[in-house]
Amino acid sequence: MSGGGKSRGGLVWATILTALLLGFAPWVPVPAARAAPRPPARPAPRPQQVPVLKPPYDFQTLLTRAEEIFKENNYREALIFYYEALSASPPGSVRGKIHFRIGECLEATRRFEFAEYHYKQALLTDLPENLSSRVALKLKHLPGLAQHEEAMRLFKRAMASYKRRDIRGSLDDYLRSLQLEPALMGQDESGLIDDAIQYLTFLSEDKTREPSRLLKLATFLELRGDTEKAVETLKQILIIYPNSEESGEAEEKLAFYTQKRTSYVEFKRPHDGLAELTPPEDAVLHEATLEFRDPGVQSKELGEFAYTFRAFNEQPNVPDHRFEMFTMTLGKGADQKEYQYRAEEGIAEKQVSYEEGNLLYQVEFQTVNLTTAYVQDIYGEGMRAAPLFAGIQVKVTISRK
C-alpha cells in the first residue's frame, strides 16, 4: 500500500513538472468557494424639503425698472416689467396705477383695444381722483384715436393701390377713409377723384354690381363738387334699379337736395352784342361777381356803400374746399344788415334785396352747390353725415333808387 501511494504521488509531481516545462498551466482541483455575506441594509433617507424659488426681482424692483424704461419712451420693453409687476403686486390702488401705465404703453404702441381694457380695469380700483379723471379722459378720446388710425390705414392703402394704377382696388378704401376722417381729403393731391370718376364712367358691370357702380360714381361726383351730375346719377339708380340695396341711400341723398336745397345754376343767355355798345346806366354804382370754393372773406367799402361776404366753419375736421356757414353783411354803420345761411338749411331764396337810404343792394345767388361729408360731432357723439357748401357764386349790384 505504501509503495503504491508513493508511486501515485511521484506521478502527480512528474505531471506538474512536465506541464511547467511545456508551458501549460497545470490543473489543480480548487475547493468550492463559500458565499460572501451580504452587507447590512441601510436605512431609507428622510425626504428633504425642496427650496422655494424666488423671482429674480421683487415687486418694488420690477416697478422701479418699469418706470425708468417708461420715461425713456421704450414702451414695448416697459410693458414686460409692468406685466411682471402686475402679477406680483398686492391688492389695492397700486394695481390700478399699474393698469393705467400698461394702458398708456399700449396706447403709445397703437394697440387701442387692449389699452381700453386696462384703462377700464384701472377705473375699477380705488384710484386717486386726479388719476381717475385722466383715465376717464383717455377712455373718451380712445375711440377717436382708433378711428384716426383706421382711417390712416385705409387712406394709405388706397394711395398705395392708386400708385400701382389699381383704381378699382382703391375706391372702397378711399371712400371709407374719408367717411372716418373727412380731413384726409385735404391731404390728397394725387388726382384719385378725377381718375375714379373717369374709371367708373366707362366701367361695364353686370346687373348685380351696376347699382353699386352708379352710387360710387355719384359719391365721387359729390366730392368733386359736381352736384348736378351727382343728382342725375342718383336718379338713374331709382329709375333703373328701384329694388336694389343702393336705392335707399340714393333716395336719401336726393331728398337732401330737393328739400329747399336746390343748386342754383345761372342760366346762360345768348350773347348780346348790342349790350357791349350801350353805356352802363349811371344809377348802378357797383357790380361784382364773387365766388367761394373755400372758407374766406371778401369785402368792399367805397364811399357810400360797403358789403362783406364770409364763408366759414364752426367745427374742426371739415374737409378742404367745404364750409358750413355763409354770411353776408350789407350796408354801413348802424343801418347794416346781416344775412346768415347754414348748409343744413340750404339757401331757399335766389335773390336778396336790401335798401339803405337811397341805395339798393341786390344779391343774386347764381350757383349754390351742396354736398355731404362725415364730420366729427361737436357734442362728442362720433361721426355724423353733415351737409356742406361746396361752392357759392353771387352777383352783387349796388345802385341808387
Quick one: pLDDT at residue 115?
Answer: 86
Judgement on whether residues 81 and 200 belong to the same structural domain of the protein: no
Which residues form the domain of 209?
A: 191-258
Could you tell me which residues come within 8 angstroms of residue 58 by beta carbon, excluding any fewer than 6 positions away? Answer: 88
State the DSSP string of 329-345.
EESSGGG-EEEEEETTT
**CATH number of residue 100's parent domain:** 1.25.40.10
Flag whether 4 is in a domain. Answer: no
86: closest CA among 51, 122, 52?
Answer: 122
pLDDT at 330: 93
Contact 363, 328 (CB under 8 A): yes
Q: What tens digit of pLDDT does each residue of 213-265 get? A: 898 898 888 888 788 888 888 888 888 888 888 888 888 888 877 665 544 44
pLDDT of 151 = 83
Q: Are residues 94 and 121 in the same domain?
A: yes
* Domain termination residue (choose one: 102, 127, 152): 127
Q: What is the pLDDT of residue 265?
A: 46
Minimal CA–CA distance to 362: which of 319, 330, 316? 330
How many domains does one find in the chain? 3
Any idea what the CATH number is for the domain that residue 234 is in?
1.25.40
Per the domain annotation, does 213 fall within a domain? yes
Cα separation of 145 and 100, whole Å?
17
**For the CA atoms of the chain, what is the radius of gyration?**
46
**CA 273 from centre of chain:** 57
Give the pLDDT confidence score for residue 261 in this predicted structure.
Answer: 52
pLDDT at 42: 65
H or E element at residue 119: helix 112-123
Is the domain of 113 the same as that of 219? no
Residues 282 and 314 reside in one and the same domain: yes
Q: Is residue 281 part of a domain?
A: yes
Has residue 26 been placed in a domain? no
Task: Give the residue from 80, 100, 127 where a domain finishes.
Answer: 127
Q: Which helix (H) or strand (E) holds 150?
A: helix 129-163
Which pLDDT tens digit goes with each residue over 296-338? 999 988 888 899 999 998 887 788 888 999 999 999 877 889 9
How confident is the model at residue 354, as a pLDDT? 92
Distance separating alpha carbons of residues 235 and 401, to the nearest angstrom: 45
Residues of the chain with pLDDT under 70: 1-57, 93, 186-188, 258-282, 376-383
pLDDT of residue 298: 92
Contacts 24+ apart (CB under 8 A), 245-250: 245/211, 246/211, 246/212, 246/214, 246/215, 247/211, 249/215, 250/214, 250/215, 250/218
Please indicate, yes or no, whether residues 339 and 280 belong to a single structural domain of this protein: yes
